[in-house]
Amino acid sequence: MTSETLPHHSVVIIGGGQAGLSASSYLSESGIDHVIYEKHRVAHAWRDQRWDSFCLVTPNWQCKLPGYDYPGSEPDGFMKRDEIVAYVEDYAKRIAAPVREGVGVNRLSRQDDGRFLVEAADGAVTAGAVVLAVGGYHVPNVPRMGERLPESIVQVHSSKYRHAGQLPEGEVLVVGSGQSGCQIAEDLHLAGRKVHLIVGSAPRCPRVYRGRDSVDWLADLGQYDLPVENHPLKEKVRKKANHYLTGRDGGRDIDLRRFALEGMKLYGRLEAISGGRLQFRDDLKQNLDSADAVYNGICGLIDKHIAENKIEAPAGAHYSPLWQPDAPVRDLDPVAAGITSVIWATGFHSDWSWVDLPVFDGTGYPTHKRGVTSMDGLYVLGLPWLHSWGSGRFVGVGRDAAYLAARIGEHLGMRRRGPVRLDLAV
């Protein structure tokens, strides 16, 4: 079969999570022919890369896929893993998404005639436009220094952690204090395991402040709608870690200092592993103080909003440290300390190697403005801070999808008349 006789779709969406499904919904409304390729199953990351007790850290009311707001009875609650999977699967059925599950894309390129060539596991097709809705978390990042740990220590990436019982008896080292690291450390702590946590620079956020969930206040303040170009950090914000807190048991703060008072061991960043020993930076106090400063900064932002708008709200107290680290631990023998397993909560690498198109910057990130890449007809969707803080969340992905669906419609109607402009309005 030649490229001229290959099956053709107006649009190919690669990725069948909430981003790809949101794009599909708007394309269907516009009557635009399309297909979704999903390497695994719909909601794969939620189903297969989350631990058993996982739940959302944002309230259920923020689950707003196009035409399908959270359907349950607890808008201020936090859906658990299986409920999230069901929500996304139900949405796919609701919109009759044309998903090819279990079919990955091996290569994406462009032909001389301007059509995209999509080489999938079940055969090749061409497309007039392509939406890359695969997120940015592709390959688990396990630092190679882990190779220097004693062979007796079991090592697990956070995406493979399910519950405390899967780990051997003994103490557990969690490397990384972002959202996953802190919540897994809490899960192990609540299960009665002795936990050692390596603390990085991730910020923290209050769960409830002055009578409301902080997410509610931040939404009122427009924080989830703030476009990246108006953020003080501009595009650098895309590399910032999310704030840690939890929706577990109805939602609460995550306070690492309280964990320390309860027996959890905290350390500065892991700098090296040498001779089987762990070596840490002397930055634990700095990292804890920085996280608390962000916490109190959010409280101050809410205080200002309440005062300026004369809102009646109960008083609120800013956070005061419950515990301070003693002389820093700079070196530790994990075997002597009783550590039998390590969980690497160290995030993911992006892997765009299968995209054979010149649209990436020097770090391998796809260059785009609000999801419109520098290549006519190619779009990205579902990335953190694609356009706003809400872009990588249920609350904002639909808005981004609607914007791109409009740009795709323009592209398909003017494909032979010139490229899509990148100086797009916010």
Q: What is the pLDDT of residue 235?
A: 86
Are residues 30 and 100 located together in one domain of the fold? yes
CA distance 85 to 45: 9
Domain boundary among 309, 344, 379: 344
Are residues 239 and 321 located together in one domain of the fold? yes
Q: What is the pLDDT of residue 85?
A: 98
What CATH number should be reported for the domain holding residue 243? 3.50.50.60
Are residues 181 and 326 located together in one domain of the fold? yes
Would you say how long the chain is, in residues? 426
CA distance 29 to 364: 33
Are residues 306 and 401 located together in one domain of the fold? no
**pLDDT < 50: residue spans in the chain:** 1, 414-426
Q: Is residue 423 part of a domain?
A: no
Q: Is residue 102 part of a domain?
A: yes
User: Beta 195-198 vs 265-267: how paired, if at all?
Assistant: parallel
Are the C-beta atoms of residues 104 and 117 closer than 8 Å to each other? no
* Dihedrals phi, psi of 164, to nearest 5 degrees: -60, -30
User: Which residues sit opposite 175 in a β-bridge?
Assistant: 198, 344
Q: What is the pLDDT of residue 423?
A: 36
CA distance 83 to 124: 35
Are the C-beta atoms of residues 234 and 228 closer than 8 Å to each other? yes
Q: What is the pLDDT of residue 1?
A: 44
- Here the tokens at position 9 are 């779709």
Candidates 19, 388, 397; CA nearest to 228 is: 388
CA distance 303 to 38: 45
CA distance 240 to 242: 7
Q: What is the pLDDT of residue 422?
A: 37
Are residues 125 and 198 located together in one domain of the fold? no
Q: Is residue 426 part of a domain?
A: no
CA distances from 90 to 13, 82, 159, 264 (A): 19, 12, 24, 40
Strand blocks (E) in 58-200? 64-65, 68-69, 99-101, 105-110, 116-120, 123-132, 139-140, 154-157, 171-175, 195-198
Q: Is residue 360 part of a domain?
A: yes
The count of structural domains within the chain is 2
Sign of the dihedral through C-alpha 385, 387, 392, 396: positive
Are residues 325 and 215 located together in one domain of the fold? yes
Q: Is residue 240 part of a domain?
A: yes
Are the C-beta atoms of residues 56 and 213 closer than 8 Å to each other? no
CA distance 345 to 388: 25
Q: What is the pLDDT of residue 3?
A: 61
Q: Is residue 42 part of a domain?
A: yes
Are residues 284 and 381 located together in one domain of the fold? no
| Residue 423, burial from CB neighbour count under 10 angstroms (0-12, 13-18, 19+) | exposed
First vs last C-alpha separation in the chain:
43
Global model pTM greater than 0.85: yes
pLDDT digits (tens, 9 = 90+) for 182-192: 999 999 999 99
Domain boundary among 318, 344, 370: 344
Q: Is residue 420 part of a domain?
A: no
* Dihedrals phi, psi of 98, to nearest 5 degrees: -80, 70
Are residues 200 and 262 located together in one domain of the fold? yes
Q: Compute the half-sphere exposure of residue 80: CA atoms within 13 Å on the CB side of its CA.
A: 7
Are residues 47 and 84 located together in one domain of the fold? yes
Are the C-beta atoms of residues 381 and 134 closer than 8 Å to each other? no
Are residues 160 and 65 located together in one domain of the fold? no
State which residues form the domain around 24.
Answer: 3-138+350-414
Domain boundary among 316, 344, 372: 344
Q: Is residue 103 part of a domain?
A: yes
DSSP 396-410: HHHHHHHHHHHHHHH
Are residues 383 and 406 located together in one domain of the fold? yes
Q: Over the range 289-320, which residues count as b (16 or more CB within 10 Å of their CB) and which as e?
A: ebbbeebbebbebbbebbeeeeeeeeeeeebe
Are residues 193 and 318 located together in one domain of the fold? yes
User: Beta 105-110 vs 116-120: how paired, if at all?
Assistant: antiparallel
Strand blocks (E) in 33-153? 34-38, 64-65, 68-69, 99-101, 105-110, 116-120, 123-132, 139-140
* Dihedrals phi, psi of 390, to nearest 5 degrees: -80, -5
